[in-house]
Amino acid sequence: MLETLLLFDERMIEHDPGPGHAERSDRLRAIEAVLSLRSLTNSRIEPARAATEEEIARVHSFDHIARVGELAGQYGSLDPDTHLSPDSVRAAVLAAGAAAKGVDAVCTGRSANAFALVRPPGHHAVANRGMGFCLFNNIAIAAAHARATHGKRRIVVIDWDVHHGNGTESIFYDTDSVLFFSVHQAPLYPGTGEARASGTGAGLGYTVNVPLQAGAGNGDYARVFREVILPIAEQYGPDLVLVSAGFDAHRDDPLGGMELTEEGFATLCGEVKQFAVGQRAPLMLSLEGGYDLAGLAKSVHACIDVLTGDTPPPADPRSSSRAESDLRAVVERQREYWKL
């Protein structure tokens, strides 16, 4: 039986955005503690590799790559939230490379699925700049790598981080070769991700935003997946499924106002895994946010359990009226492009 590949690398712990920063080294240490406690049944851990400049340049401008590169070995900032320490550029290059390595493993059939346990996160980084704790857009680099190296032409990216994946959206906004979903809290940083933002040109209809008011829980998210994301993804017929797996929609997270639990994340992971298997599409997750250490570690652990073969918890049947009206607005919007 093929194993789940877990990409974990000590060198990504060394990225230090400074005292008091939410996106801190302890996040990966908490995940490392979980990895050290679990049995490695059906899974194996491998280190990251460095992304090449060619791989990063598929989604980022040379200006941005040069600006980040100049900060190697130094302290610096890309925006008021995004700070670098001397080891940060190396960590960012490894994070992008881990996501690309995960794609290689699942696309060649070497692994059943993969989870790149990376930091810094990536989904806020746009082509020409880093922002929101993100230097390079790891999931976008992974998708572009799959397109360039494995001939993937119909890539689904599902972003369940509590923040809108504005960087990934903007990078693939005008293409139909990536179908991008973001389910996120609104209003919240970075302020984008309205339901009416649906793509442009050849990409029209291939960006699907699901903004939800604060307070949405396990049952609400399960409905979003069953009633919007997976039905649209099925009509698209993906040849690769990527997940921007942030865990800041966890109920204990200090940056988000959602009510998901680790069981809720396991349910979502199970829905996506079952979908990908049914589509015969390889599956890779890449870590984004998640700032409550216990909530993050438990949620990552729960998702790894599902990836390695455990039966996920059933979807919570409860849903809230606020999420119901948010969902209705999204379905109304998406009926312009998809059968729902």
The catalytic site residues sit at 124
- Footprint (CB under 5 A) of Zn ion, residues 238-257: 246, 248
Nearer to Zn ion, 219 or 246 (CB): 246
Closest chain position to Zn ion (CB): 289
Nearer to Zn ion, 166 or 279 (CB): 166
Range in contact with Zn ion (rule: CB under 5 A) among 40-48, 270-278, 289-297, 329-337: 289-297
Q: How far is the CB of 70 from Zn ion (least distance, A)?
A: 27
Distance CA 142, CA 2 (A): 21
The residue among 62, 64, 336 whose CA lies nearest residue 199 is 336
Range in contact with Zn ion (rule: CB under 5 A) among 9-17, 82-90, 154-162, 321-329: 154-162
Q: How far is the CB of 248 from Zn ion (least distance, A)?
A: 4
Q: Which helix (H) or strand (E) holds 224?
A: helix 218-224
Nearer to Zn ion, 121 or 203 (CB): 121
> Residue count at the site for Zn ion (CB under 5 A)?
5
119 binds Zn ion (CB under 5 A): no
Q: How far is the CB of 161 from Zn ion (least distance, A)?
A: 4
Nearer to Zn ion, 64 or 250 (CB): 250
Q: How far is the CB of 188 from Zn ion (least distance, A)?
A: 9
Tell me how far apart the 2 most distant CA atoms of the chain are, in Å: 51
Query: What are the φ and ψ backbone dihedral angles of 11, each rounded to 5 degrees?
Result: -70, -20
Distance CA 13, CA 28 (A): 6
- Footprint (CB under 5 A) of Zn ion, residues 159-178: 161, 163
289 binds Zn ion (CB under 5 A): yes
Q: Is the dihedral of CA 130, 131, 136, 141 positive or negative?
A: negative
Helices (H), 77-117: 88-107
23 binds Zn ion (CB under 5 A): no
Query: What are the φ and ψ backbone dihedral angles of 70, each rounded to 5 degrees?
Result: -65, -20
Q: How far is the CB of 259 from Zn ion (least distance, A)?
A: 16
Q: Where are the beta strands (DSSP E) in 100-221?
A: 113-116, 155-159, 178-185, 207-212
Distance CA 295, CA 305 (A): 15
Nearer to Zn ion, 203 or 246 (CB): 246
Contacts of 244 (CB under 8 A, 6+ apart): 122, 123, 139, 157, 158, 159, 160, 161, 165, 168, 182, 286, 288
- Footprint (CB under 5 A) of Zn ion, residues 193-222: none
Q: Which residues bind Zn ion (CB under 5 A)?
A: 161, 163, 246, 248, 289
